[in-house]
Every structure is written in C-alpha cells, then in structure tokens.
Amino acid sequence: MKNNYAIKLLSVLAIGLWFAVMPVNAADLGQAKAAGLVGELMNGYLGLVDGNAPADVKAMVDSINAQRRAEYQRIAAKNGVPAEEVAKLTAQKVINQTAPGQFVQTPSGWQKR
C-alpha cells in the first residue's frame, strides 16, 4: 500500500480529476443539482436524488459517471491503487465543495447542504 504522502497526492489528483471531466453540459449539471434532481454520492459518482428525474437527466448522469469511472481508473493505474480509493478521495473533496442548497449523500441518506 502507498504511504500517506502518496494518498495525499492522489487526493490532489482526484480533485483535479473533477475539473478534468466536467462535462460539456456543465450548466445542465448545475441546473439539475440546483433543482434537487442530482447529487454527489459518497462513492465518487453522481446519483439521482429524485428517481422521477427526466430521461435526459438520467442520461447525463450516466454519461458523467462513465467519464468519472474512466478517469478514476486512469489515475488508479498510474498510481498503483484501486480505482475505488481514487473515487472515494474525489467524493470527499467534491462533497466538501458542494454548494449550499444542493444534495450530497451521507451515511443516513441524501442531505441538502
């Protein structure tokens, strides 16, 4: 297992990932988050807060999650750690930076910031 320095480095890489895979439709993501349809999961992916979200929102979430998955795998392979670890580090950073009024997953479920 990597030492603490490597884990901290991964954390920096992971937050860089967030900006690297921002979708072309970032405004749509922001709107979906502001509307309470989409939130950040504890595992580093987006989730549907509202299961009745429109099909285009669901497709956007799937697309962004695929981009995130690919980037987590790339960073993990480069650093010799599991992709899940990179995803969780990213989740911590992204959740901490989530804007007020948007949803994040907590151990007890969705919570509005």
Asked whether the beta carbons of 41 and 91 are under 8 A apart, the reply is yes
pTM: 0.80
Amino acid 109: pLDDT: 96
The pLDDT score that the predictor gives to residue 10 is 62
Is-contact 109 45, C-beta < 8 A? no
Q: Residue ranges of the domains in the chain?
A: 4-97
Share of the chain above pLDDT 90, in %: 58
In sequence order, what are the residues at sequence separation of 6 or more whose Cβ sits closer than 8 angstroms to the Cβ of residue 103?
33, 36, 38, 39, 40, 49, 110, 111, 112, 113
Query: Which one, of 47, 46, 45, lies nearest residue 88 by Cα?
Result: 45
* Angle, CA 57 vertex, CA 51 and CA 59 arms, to 5°: 105
- The 10s digit of each residue's pLDDT in 55-94 is 999 999 999 999 999 989 988 898 899 999 999 989 998 9
Cα 77 to chain centroid distance, Å, stands at 19
pLDDT digits (tens, 9 = 90+) for 94-113: 999 999 999 999 999 999 99
DSSP state of 103: E
Banded model confidence at residue 28, pLDDT cuts 50, 70, 90: confident
Could you tell me which residues come within 8 angstroms of residue 18 by beta carbon, excluding any fewer than 6 positions away? 90, 93, 94
